Structure 1
Amino acid sequence: MEWHTCLDEYEKLVIRMSTPRVVVDNGVCPTATLVKVDSARRHGILLDTVQVLTDLNLSIKKAYVSSDGQWFMDVFHVTDLNGNKLTDESVISYIEQSLETTDPYRSHGFDGLTALELIGTDRVGLLSEVFAVLADLQCNVVDAKVWTHNGRISALIYVEDGSPIEDSQQIHRIEARLRNLLKGDNNIRCTKISVSMAVPHTERRLHQMMFADRDYERACFAA
């Protein structure tokens, strides 16, 4: 086996061991859902966990933290704002995926870039058209993460035009062009576009966007 192959396998092993293991358990406590996080000890992991739960407006009733050497386990007793256990599978899946996709070894490298957040109805060729519009507006795409689910698309695209995009007129042009593109021929109203500074947790932000899109989409079709 070549040396670089050995290094690749070792890196995969380290990442696998360092990735938090998350269990959401409704069978232990009669009054709360237990969220168990087992991981190698690293700076910020506890804050990351609490932030995910807070983002969902969950109430943390109790929390137990135990550690053994370089390993730790957090157990949170949580309920929704009405004091009920968590039963929504999408919420449970969001908690598990948000914490399990936390990668302590990934370099974000997005400082100084502009983040474009797009949500709309997915269709064939949409992403290619988005990139074409950005190229026409002299925006260089540095990185992009895209998720699709149930005919919806959520994208977080990092761009620059030689520096972070701060010109309000340029931002308005980007938003207007992309909004028209996402509406398409059907003039679908359920689209959201925002321009901001780069966010540190891309996967978590995509989870939040997709989760929030459920209620936004319902409101659009109900209107």
Structure 2
Amino acid sequence: MSFSQDMDDEYEKLIRRMNPPRVVIDNETCKNASVIRVDSANKHGILLEVVQVLIDLNLIITKAYISSDGGWFMDVFNVTDQDGNKITDEEILDYIQKSLGSDACFISSMRRSVGVIPSTDHTSIELTGSDRPGLLSEVSAVLTHLKCSVVNAEVWTHNTRAAAVMHVTDEETGCAITDPERLSKVKQLLCNVLKGSNKSREAKTVVSHGVTHTERRLHQMMFADRDYERIYNDGSDEAQRPNVNVVNWYDKDYSVVTIRSKDRPKLLFDTVCTLTDMQYVVFHANVDAEGPEAYQEYYIRHIDGSPVKSDAERQRVIQCLEAAIERRVSEGLKLELCTTDRVGLLSDVTRIFRENSLSVTRAEVTTRAGKAVNTFHVRDASGYPVDAKTIDSIREAIGQTILQVKGSPEEIKQIPQESPTRFLLVGLFRSR
């Protein structure tokens, strides 16, 4: 860390000691939500920092009011748990107080979001490249071949691009991989897979010994990869896209961003991530997500103090916010897989998807206490609804595993009404 960074951190700590954040959690005022009020000294990125704490607890933000004019930051969040109930768990309430209140010892939010915290538990691999059917299967096969075990992973795809953050360990030791020569080989082989036959767009593989906020990094990686540069075809997806508008309020020197879109978990986090990455400061905001549609309104300036200066900049803000909202939208059929973890499991499962012409659009892989808990969003590689026979083939190929299938009827073709949504899969993984 440089001398200037040290000085910045010490100055930030001094400000926090002089103006300690105040967090009030109120379960009485609102009938159907817990109200969390945060007052703090203002700094760039603090809104993202607060929202990140709340979404990491899987809380649903139904309303938010934000004001940060001058040197003080004040915001109010109405939150519930996943079932729509108030937050009453003392452990969660205590965590919120400690994470956002005067006891918190935050380093700079931007460095915390972007930086890498050293870890000996695993090696982090970040991948970006062109999306194509079977890509996750190919990546997983390379890692298995190199004796790397995937303990956690998250994969997003959007607008022909793919990004992944994967945490891997050495198959033999169960710890992070430290041999520079081996890491260089991992990087080289994965980069070759990501490039594929597409030489027109860059592919990246970054290997580090660190812990990062996975979803935060995925937003940053896809933003850096310019996934917001939409490839227009026939415009058939226009009606599905969020409604984003940007106008200048010249009297106050703000740009006003309004967003209307279908509500979903973590929507506020996704939009705030992008505004922060684009170096905009949110001075005021109003968010209402109590119905099926979410409304977000932001009063912003660039970090240099200016509102949006040109039509080109306005269009870029719109495109980037659209992309931020769409990245997490789940396309395709949702498959939830839970089984005893073993070496090569992810490679085997994704290979079976590929062999049955399924393309993975999103994936979340976690390992807990020897159990692999994996969620995949898949679609037919040809763009059609997933056929019931495909599900049957997967049942035949994957063994002793519970597979929960979720999705709207149009996502599954020709499945009888009496077909259960929870399958006990029979047979053993076939060795290849």
TM-score by length of 1: 0.53
* Paired position in structure 2 for 1:206: 218
* Paired position in structure 1 for 2:97: 42
Q: Is 2:197 the counterpart of 1:185?
A: yes
* Paired position in structure 2 for 1:51: 109
Specify the SS of the correspondent of 2:97: coil
| AA aligned opposite 1:201 | H
Specify the SS of the correspondent of 1:177: helix
Cα RMSD after superposing both structures: 4.2
Judge conservation of contact 1:114–1:159 (CA < 8 Å) in 2. yes
Structure 2 CA distance, aligned partners of 1:194 and 1:204? 16
* Paired position in structure 2 for 1:78: none
Of 147, 151, 159, the residue aligned with 1:138 is 147
TM-score by length of 2: 0.29
1:111-155 Cα shifts (integer Å, max 9, x gaps): 610010001111000000000000111111111101111111110
1:1-223 matches, cutoff 5 A? 19=59, 21=61, 23=64, 36=75, 38=77, 41-45=96-100, 51=109, 112-161=121-170, 162=173, 163-214=175-226
Deviation at 1:160, TM superposition (A): 0.8
Structure 1 CA distance, aligned partners of 2:177 and 2:133? 29
Deviation at 1:44, TM superposition (A): 2.3
Judge conservation of contact 1:23–1:35 (CA < 8 Å) in 2. no
Structure 2 CA distance, aligned partners of 1:55 and 1:181? 28
Judge conservation of contact 2:68–2:74 (CA < 8 Å) in 1. no
Structure 2 CA distance, aligned partners of 1:205 and 1:55? 8
1:138-183 Cα shifts (integer Å, max 9, x gaps): 1111111011111111100111112211111001100100111111
Structure 2 CA distance, aligned partners of 1:37 and 1:149? 32
In the superposition, relative to structure 1, how do residues 133 and 54 fare at CA in structure 2: closer, same or farther (>3 Å)? closer
Specify the SS of the correspondent of 2:138: helix
Structure 2 CA distance, aligned partners of 1:20 and 1:37? 14
Structure 1 CA distance, aligned partners of 2:142 and 2:198? 19
Specify the SS of the correspondent of 1:42: helix
Deviation at 1:187, TM superposition (A): 2.6
More strand by share: 2
Specify the SS of the correspondent of 2:225: helix
More helix by share: 1
Structure 1 CA distance, aligned partners of 2:184 and 2:111? 34
Runs of 5+ consecutive residues of structure 2 not aligned to the other structure: 1-32, 35-53, 80-92, 231-432
In the superposition, relative to structure 1, how do residues 149 and 54 fare at CA in structure 2: closer, same or farther (>3 Å)? same
Structure 1 CA distance, aligned partners of 2:111 and 2:180? 34
Specify the SS of the correspondent of 1:187: coil
Judge conservation of contact 1:119–1:193 (CA < 8 Å) in 2. yes
In the superposition, relative to structure 1, how do residues 176 and 18 fare at CA in structure 2: closer, same or farther (>3 Å)? closer
Aligned residues with identical type, % of pairs: 41
Specify the SS of the correspondent of 2:211: coil
In the superposition, relative to structure 1, how do residues 190 and 45 fare at CA in structure 2: closer, same or farther (>3 Å)? farther
- Relative contact order, higher structure (CA 8 A, sep 6+): 1
In the superposition, relative to structure 1, how do residues 168 and 54 fare at CA in structure 2: closer, same or farther (>3 Å)? closer
Specify the SS of the correspondent of 1:185: coil
Specify the SS of the correspondent of 1:155: strand
Runs of 5+ consecutive residues of structure 1 not aligned to the other structure: 1-12, 57-109, 219-223
In the superposition, relative to structure 1, how do residues 197 and 24 fare at CA in structure 2: closer, same or farther (>3 Å)? farther
